[in-house]
């Protein structure tokens, strides 16, 4: 985008780093901040700078944290015998908000994807293995996404759990609550049909 202001061009280009934000959206955001929200824009800039400088990863679970150990790992009220493995901090937040899970987490910050250069080392699996070897975890809940890479990651995690004598479990996938079979996509329906369970 051509602009008489190099600062404006820099702002628009910087906003394009956000997911789903292209050139036009970035331009609208920049113009909006400059036209109507300068004070909030300054607050946003300050918060963004502080977050980028001060937020790191928890040394225990790899979730975002300002402290060496996050509040979830430090909490004495969390069940240390149950460990849930998720792909991202977004997934952790979703589980915290939607369930009554009171165990602990391990955040992979990705999933096994050799094409993207994401192997066991990048996902912190050596660190996870050490945690399982401590002997405190009895169940490893594998909450990776039901994608090809997520399933490969889940398989790898289950092997790690078996080697550490920890019981692995996998989140159920299939027909959504309240869903009607005729509207469920073929892949989901096939997975649900293949993973059917006995009814007591």
Share of the chain above pLDDT 90, in %: 76
Residue 157 pLDDT: 96
Query: Is residue 110 scored above 80 in pLDDT?
Result: yes
Domains along the sequence of the chain with CATH: 6-54 (1.10.8.420), 64-170 (3.40.1360.10)
Higher pLDDT, 169 or 193: 169
| CA 166 – CA 120 distance, rounded (Å) | 19
SS3 162: helix
Higher pLDDT, 172 or 90: 90
Alpha carbon 91 to chain centroid distance? Answer: 4
For the chain, what is the mean pLDDT? 91
- In sequence order, the 6+-apart residues with CB closer than 8 A to the CB of 55 are 64, 65, 66
Which residue do the tokens 């800039």 mark?
Answer: 45
CB–CB of 128/62 below 8 Å?
no
Considering only CA atoms, give the Rg of the chain.
Answer: 21
pLDDT (tens digit per residue) in 30-47: 999 999 999 999 999 999
User: What pTM was estimated for this model as a whole?
Assistant: 0.83
2 — pLDDT class (breaks 50, 70, 90): low
| CA 23 – CA 61 distance, rounded (Å) | 36
């Amino acid at each position: 985008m051509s602009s008489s202001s190099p600062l404006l061009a820099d702002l628009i280009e910087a906003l394009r780093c956000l997911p789903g934000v292209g050139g036009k959206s970035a331009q609208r955001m920049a113009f909006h901040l400059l036209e109507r929200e300068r004070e909030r824009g300054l607050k946003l800039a300050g918060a963004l700078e502080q977050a980028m400088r001060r937020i790191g990863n928890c040394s225990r679970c790899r979730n975002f944290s300002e402290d060496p150990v996050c509040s979830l790992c430090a909490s004495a009220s969390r069940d240390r015998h149950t460990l849930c493995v998720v792909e991202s901090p977004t997934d952790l937040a979703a589980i915290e908000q939607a369930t009554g899970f009171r165990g602990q987490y391990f955040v992979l910050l990705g999933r096994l994807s050799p094409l993207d250069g994401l192997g066991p080392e990048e996902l912190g699996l050596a660190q996870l293995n050490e945690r399982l070897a401590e002997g405190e975890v009895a169940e490893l809940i594998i909450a990776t996404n039901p994608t090809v890479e997520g399933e490969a990651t889940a398989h790898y995690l289950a092997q790690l759990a078996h080697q550490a004598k920890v019981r692995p479990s996998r989140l159920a996938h299939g027909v959504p609550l309240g869903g009607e079979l005729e509207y469920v996509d073929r892949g989901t329906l096939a997975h649900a049909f293949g993973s059917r369970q006995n009814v007591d």
